[in-house]
């Protein structure tokens, strides 16, 4: 298990109170506030800052954020995982923001270059040939 900090930060000029919802590793319905009440993280007018720390299994995960705003009232949203911006976009109820991330998996290193050895013969003394690596 790995401790992960997930942060959702939004800003908007939307003058109405909206539901804000988030799920981890599961879908978020476009009308989550009516049928997925456990996904509600806030009900406010304006932007939010929501932070959650939790333990996740090693592997790949995802977070989905949305709100109840109608078209024409987008909220600029950012999903930040362990201090790193992973996803950003203008979000309404029909346009969700998804952030894919992995925890506990070492980063993939680029392949090492292949080093070729060449043998260049050269003469040492009379009739003696020695190979040399470069």
Q: Is residue 37 predicted with pLDDT exceeding 60?
A: yes
Q: How many domains does the chain have?
A: 1
Instruction: Grade residue 39 by pLDDT with cuts at 50, 70 and 90.
Output: very high
Q: Tell whether 89 is covered by a domain.
A: yes
Q: Would 51 be classed as within a structural domain?
A: yes
- Burial category of 19 from C-beta neighbours within 10 Å (exposed 0-12, middle 13-18, buried 19 and up): buried
Q: How high is the pLDDT of residue 105?
A: 75
47 neighbors 86 (Cβ within 8 angstroms): no
87 domain-assigned: yes
Q: What is the mean pLDDT of residues 106-128?
A: 60
Residue 126 lies in a domain: no
Q: What is the mean pLDDT of residues 95-101?
A: 97
- The boundaries of the domain holding residue 30 are 2-103
Write down the pLDDT at residue 129.
47
| Within-domain flag for 26 | yes
What CATH number does residue 89 fall under?
A: 2.60.40
Residues above pLDDT 90, as percent of the chain? 77
pTM of this prediction?
Answer: 0.77
Residue 11 domain-assigned?
A: yes
DSSP-assigned letter for residue 16: S
pLDDT at 133 over 90: no
pLDDT at residue number 131: 46
Return all residues near 60 (Cβ < 8 A) that are at least 6 apart: 100, 101, 102, 105
Q: Is the pLDDT of residue 119 over 80?
A: no
């Amino acid at each position: 298990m790995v401790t992960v900090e997930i942060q959702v930060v939004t800003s908007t000029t939307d003058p109405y109170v909206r539901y804000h919802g988030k799920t981890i590793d599961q879908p978020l319905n476009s009308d989550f506030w009516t049928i997925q009440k456990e996904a509600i993280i806030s009900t406010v007018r304006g932007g939010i800052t929501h932070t959650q720390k939790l333990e996740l299994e090693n592997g790949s995960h995802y977070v989905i954020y949305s709100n109840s705003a109608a078209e024409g009232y987008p909220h600029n949203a950012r999903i930040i995982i362990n201090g790193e911006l992973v996803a950003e976009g203008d979000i309404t109820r029909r346009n969700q923001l998804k952030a894919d991330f992995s925890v506990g998996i070492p980063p993939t290193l680029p392949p090492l270059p292949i080093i070729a050895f060449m043998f260049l013969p050269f003469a040492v003394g009379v009739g003696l040939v020695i190979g040399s690596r470069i």
